[in-house]
Chain A
Amino acid sequence: MNTAVLTREQREAKLEGMGCKRKRVEDIRFTQGKGNYIDDLKLPGMLFGDFVRSQYAHARIKRIDTSKASKVPGVLAVLTAEELKGVNLAWMPTLAGDVQMVLADGKVLFQNQEIAFVVAEDRYAAADGVEAVEVEYEELPVIVDPFKSMAPDAPVLREDLAGKTSGAHGARKHHNHIFEWTVGDKAATDAAFASAEVTIKELISYHRTHPSPLETCQCVASFDKIKGELTVYGTFQAPHVIRTVASLLSKIPEHKIHVISPDIGGGFGNKVGAYPGYICAIVASIVTGKPVKWVEDRIENLTTTSFARDYHMSTEIAASKDGKVTGLRVHVLADHGGFDACADPSKFPAGFFAIVTGSYDFPVAHVAVDGVYTNKAPGGVAYRCSLRVTEAAYAIERGMDILAQKLGMDPAELRLKNFIKREQFPYQSALGWEYDSGDYHTAMNKALEAVGYKALRAEQVAKREAFKRGETRELMGIGLCFFTEIVGAGPSKNCDVLGLAMFDSCEIRVHPTGSAIARMGSKSQGQGHETTYAQIVASEIGIPADDVMVEEGNTDTAPYGIGTFGSRSTPVAGAAIAMAARKIRNKAQMIAAYLLEVHESDLEWDIDGFRVKGLPEKFKGMKEIVWAAYHSPPPGMEPGLEAVSYYDPPNMTYPFGAYICVMDIDIDTGVYKVRRFYALDDCGTRINPMIIEGQVHGGLTEAFAIAMGQEIRYDAIGNVVGGSFMDFFLPTAVETPKWETDHTVTPSPHHPIGAKGVGESPNVGGVPAFSNAVNDAFSFLGTTHIQMPHDHWRNWMVAQRLGLHA
């Protein structure tokens, strides 16, 4: 073995294992235009499906006439709810325990709702067919404002639920009410408020937005009548779950359904759910006997397949005069649109919103969430965040700033005063979570020092004085955020989707010549799993990452997994890889002991092989051990070297971080300039620092967009205002700020490699940092809370309301 002549550093470097800034494997194909995305797929005889959609937000469907459409050249079939009823698929179950119309059954509940599905020889003919379908509507009164949905005289939106006084999550108090979910000790919290020296209360709204990956939701369904087998290629973040749902709905046995997720052009939560397009493509393929492709256009994407947020959080904090928090009380009004299709674990209709106590040591807290129906699109997905965690982080981080303002305290000082201390971990939060690890003071102090916080505050004071003297028309804001996330759903004791425990999985096969394949239940949408997962294998079993192929997205070859969303890949699937690799290493140790003629316990692992303790020259490298597993296994041992792990995490992981934004706002134009944005992340063990940094850049850019303008807005009659990239704010390279990244490392004590996940942290922590900067800029003029998004126009309006333009 020539490994003997390499230094330890050289051997380690050769592996490109954990901690290495390994260049991405995926990029070889992506940079050459050789990615394999859904719309690239071309099957023989493939047809194309397109939707007729509702013009109205709430209307009765009086008549659908498809006769003209059926005669359009190239059109082969037109599906409506009537056809779907024949196969019992006019409605489908949602992940949230509700049902949703696949095609409009008698009425429509939101603009652009699916009414009919036109199947044609190509996408142009399908569009012609869509034009030719006639729909007669009777308009109904519309509810857009969730605060009006439970008025006594509010129109009934869901006639199918008439008389149902309870839903999937308990009692319904009104015909437009979905659920009430509560957590925490109400009596103790109320008592804390009753005796509090200081309290704050503010309605903090997190507006409706959309994940909007650059590739929309798409699929190709192909039903083989002879074999009775269905293959669905799709932009699925959770391919196995889609297979199970497809089997339950279609009654096709699960082993005869093949779900394939090829390369996915971004997901951000948009591609977790099951959408009418998938169902219609499947039915159309069964009806026509040909493969059917369905590809959303951008307007359809923004207005129908999922939304995010729309949480209206009445946030109260109780505290002592010297700034020690004593209680937290939050009531949320959650706008779920026309159907409750939120992508949350079954028992958590408000996701993990109970992380709202944040990074602070609240002795008591209470949360109540009311979910309501409105005439808006269904969805409620976690847009690059764990489930409802960004909403929670926004509420508490704005709340802490508002409290600091009321106390006349510096917001950094208030946070430092109330942080959970390092020695308190594992920490039991007032709302029932067990935070695994953290060192908040170190992270916060590092961040404050890095930006020169004291000097910034001094500059701000001087600038405010200059502003008062009329010497400048610019306001300076410093936005702090210290977030704690809860990711990696989740332990089977409390997390499931459709009854499926939220484990994840990995199968590793090591080939005789020493290379390997790892197959996963998760599914990358750009996170670089093919690169990073191989690094975990490399570090665990000493096979160079370049010799490990990672395969995801094929339900026939991969072990069952729940997929990639809610930052669960590293915490759950990443753990499964390590555990599968360790099974392999254990067997390798037995083989090495046999080869070296010692007892297993005499061996120690050393980078890429086993060494006899105290005898450094007695060494067997993995390559030799692997060959022996196939060539001459020890007597009585099964040949081969492979392992499967289904990892059921014992707890969630709790990444955290300190973000600081410095912003200047011109009050005469409302134009803001992000002068500086510093992001310190602690995601535990760092697998690939290059990819972590890339994830943070991307997440911060999304946070910037959301906080500063990105919004799905409706007018009074339920028209989507700005449902294309003309109006929906996606920042270009020009307006995107430059990002400074930093880190501390506090490993998770319960995760096999100590990693916590990072992809969503910047979205969760970024939004409050931007919003706090805007609020901080105006606060000395008497504002306490300015609602997002903070675009130039709204900033100008704030200045106008404050009389600054006089």
Chain B
Amino acid sequence: MAKTQVRMTVNGREVEALVEPRTLLIHFLREQLNLTGAHIGCDTTHCGACTVDLDAKSVKSCTMFAVQADGAHITTIEGMANADGSLHALQEGFRMEHGLQCGYCTPGMIMRAHRLLQEIPNPSEEQIRFGISGNLCRCTGYQNIVKAIQYAAAKLSGAAQKEAAE
């Protein structure tokens, strides 16, 4: 099948590649860029395991062609750790609050939570539950995921306040 050229920025890096027009973004990320953090769980846009951040929106990358992401800025779980290699507040929060078990939904869940905290920096529990309702988890029952996001929100807003004070 004829291939099309795409260019995008993934985790701050310029990427240029040839893809089949039918190649899904998730397959492009996982198989061509070897970014295997985002997962495939359902094929029908329900589970959110494939969630990435695309042009400041949470996107289920199994339901988008790679060609549609031409020119986009994408962040995946692999781009979340801080510049010094330390864990992002969400990554830390998920560990501290036991917000994961098998780990399969975790990258998508963290990417969604990341965008949620941009949209609502200090969300209520209800807002968190609604905000992550496009992401399914089979292991945790969500209670500790909610706590993990609250942990990150507190840490990030604490950091933001500190920054403002300085």
B18 at interface by CB-CB < 8 Å: no
When the two chains form their complex, are residues B39 and A697 in contact, meaning their CB atoms are under 8 A apart? Answer: no
Chain B residues, Cβ within 8 Å of A298: 41-44, 47
Query: Nearest A residue to B106 by beta-carbon distance?
Result: A30
Majority DSSP secondary structure for residues of B touching A? loop
B102 at interface by CB-CB < 8 Å: yes
What are the interface flags for B104-147 relative to A under an 8 Å C-beta threshold, 1 for contact and 0 otherwise? 11110010000000000000000011101111111111111110
When the two chains form their complex, are residues B44 and A32 in contact, meaning their CB atoms are under 8 A apart? Answer: no
Whole-angstrom CA separation of A265 from B40 in the bound complex: 11
What are the interface flags for B34-49 relative to A under an 8 Å C-beta threshold, 1 for contact and 0 otherwise? 1111111111101101
When the two chains form their complex, are residues A124 and B23 in contact, meaning their CB atoms are under 8 A apart? Answer: yes
Q: Determine the interface band of chain A, counting residues with CB < 8 A from chain B.
A: 35 or more
What are the interface flags for A673-702 relative to B under an 8 Å C-beta threshold, 1 for contact and 0 otherwise? 000000000000000001101110111111
What are the interface flags for A70-88 relative to B under an 8 Å C-beta threshold, 1 for contact and 0 otherwise? 0001000000000000000
A215 with B39, Cβ < 8 A, contacts A298-B44, A698-B138, A733-B133 known: yes
When the two chains form their complex, are residues A697 and B140 in contact, meaning their CB atoms are under 8 A apart? Answer: yes
Chain B residues, Cβ within 8 Å of A299: 43
Nearest Cβ on chain B to A622's Cβ, whole angstroms = 28
A732 at interface by CB-CB < 8 Å: yes
Q: How many residues of B contact A (CB 8 A)?
A: 60
Query: Nearest A residue to B77 by beta-carbon distance?
Result: A33
A212 at interface by CB-CB < 8 Å: yes
Nearest Cβ on chain A to B5's Cβ, whole angstroms = 18
When the two chains form their complex, are residues B104 and A214 in contact, meaning their CB atoms are under 8 A apart? Answer: yes
Whole-angstrom CA separation of A392 from B124 in the bound complex: 40
When the two chains form their complex, are residues A726 and B31 in contact, meaning their CB atoms are under 8 A apart? Answer: no
When the two chains form their complex, are residues A701 and B102 in contact, meaning their CB atoms are under 8 A apart? Answer: no
A32 with B77, Cβ < 8 A, contacts A212-B138, A734-B129, A739-B143 known: yes
A31 at interface by CB-CB < 8 Å: yes
When the two chains form their complex, are residues A266 and B81 in contact, meaning their CB atoms are under 8 A apart? Answer: no
Stretch of B65-73, B90-98, B153-161 lying at the A interface: B90-98
B76 at interface by CB-CB < 8 Å: yes
When the two chains form their complex, are residues A527 and B101 in contact, meaning their CB atoms are under 8 A apart? Answer: yes
Chain A residues, Cβ within 8 Å of B132: 732-733
A167 at interface by CB-CB < 8 Å: no
B100 at interface by CB-CB < 8 Å: yes
Contact of B43 among A30, A213, A297, A695 (CB under 8 A): A297
Query: Nearest B residue to A700 by beta-carbon distance?
Result: B141
B22 at interface by CB-CB < 8 Å: yes
When the two chains form their complex, are residues A725 and B46 in contact, meaning their CB atoms are under 8 A apart? Answer: yes
Contact of A697 among B78, B81, B141 (CB under 8 A): B141
Whole-angstrom CA separation of A525 from B36 in the bound complex: 18
Chain A residues, Cβ within 8 Å of B10: none
Contact of B36 among A24, A33, A693 (CB under 8 A): A33
What are the interface flags for A698-710 relative to B under an 8 Å C-beta threshold, 1 for contact and 0 otherwise? 1111100000000
Contact of A265 among B43, B94, B103 (CB under 8 A): B103
Chain A residues, Cβ within 8 Å of B1: 73
A363 at interface by CB-CB < 8 Å: no
Q: Which of A214, A263, A695, A698: most chain B Cβ within 10 A? A: A214
When the two chains form their complex, are residues A265 and B143 in contact, meaning their CB atoms are under 8 A apart? Answer: no
Q: Which of A722-762 contact B (CB under 8 A)?
A: 724-726, 730, 732-734, 736, 738-739
When the two chains form their complex, are residues B101 and A694 in contact, meaning their CB atoms are under 8 A apart? Answer: yes
When the two chains form their complex, are residues B138 and A213 in contact, meaning their CB atoms are under 8 A apart? Answer: yes
B16 at interface by CB-CB < 8 Å: no
When the two chains form their complex, are residues B139 and A24 in contact, meaning their CB atoms are under 8 A apart? Answer: no
Contact of B104 among A34, A215, A297, A699 (CB under 8 A): A215
Stretch of A36-44, A311-319, A482-490, A507-515 lying at the B interface: A36-44
When the two chains form their complex, are residues A526 and B139 in contact, meaning their CB atoms are under 8 A apart? Answer: yes
When the two chains form their complex, are residues A736 and B142 in contact, meaning their CB atoms are under 8 A apart? Answer: yes
When the two chains form their complex, are residues A726 and B102 in contact, meaning their CB atoms are under 8 A apart? Answer: no
A264 at interface by CB-CB < 8 Å: yes
B55 at interface by CB-CB < 8 Å: no
Nearest Cβ on chain B to A674's Cβ, whole angstroms = 12
Chain A residues, Cβ within 8 Å of B74: none
When the two chains form their complex, are residues B98 and A24 in contact, meaning their CB atoms are under 8 A apart? Answer: yes
Chain B residues, Cβ within 8 Å of A526: 101-104, 139
Chain A residues, Cβ within 8 Å of B27: 123
Q: Which of A213-233 contact B (CB under 8 A)?
A: 213-216
A255 at interface by CB-CB < 8 Å: no
When the two chains form their complex, are residues A697 and B144 in contact, meaning their CB atoms are under 8 A apart? Answer: yes
Whole-angstrom CA separation of A299 from B44 in the bound complex: 9
Whole-angstrom CA separation of A40 from B105 in the bound complex: 14
Q: Which of A35, A73, A264, A691: most chain B Cβ within 10 A? A: A35
A362 at interface by CB-CB < 8 Å: no
Q: List 6 A-B contacts (CB under 8 A).
A: A32-B37, A33-B35, A33-B36, A40-B36, A694-B101, A725-B44
9 shortest interchain CB distances as A-B pairs: A33-B37, A526-B102, A30-B103, A265-B104, A697-B141, A33-B77, A701-B141, A725-B46, A526-B101
**Knowing that A215-B104, A697-B144, A700-B141 are A-B contacts, what are 12 other residue pairs whose CB atoms are under 8 Å apart, sorted by A's residue number?**
A23-B96, A32-B87, A33-B78, A34-B37, A37-B39, A298-B41, A298-B42, A298-B47, A726-B44, A732-B134, A733-B128, A733-B135
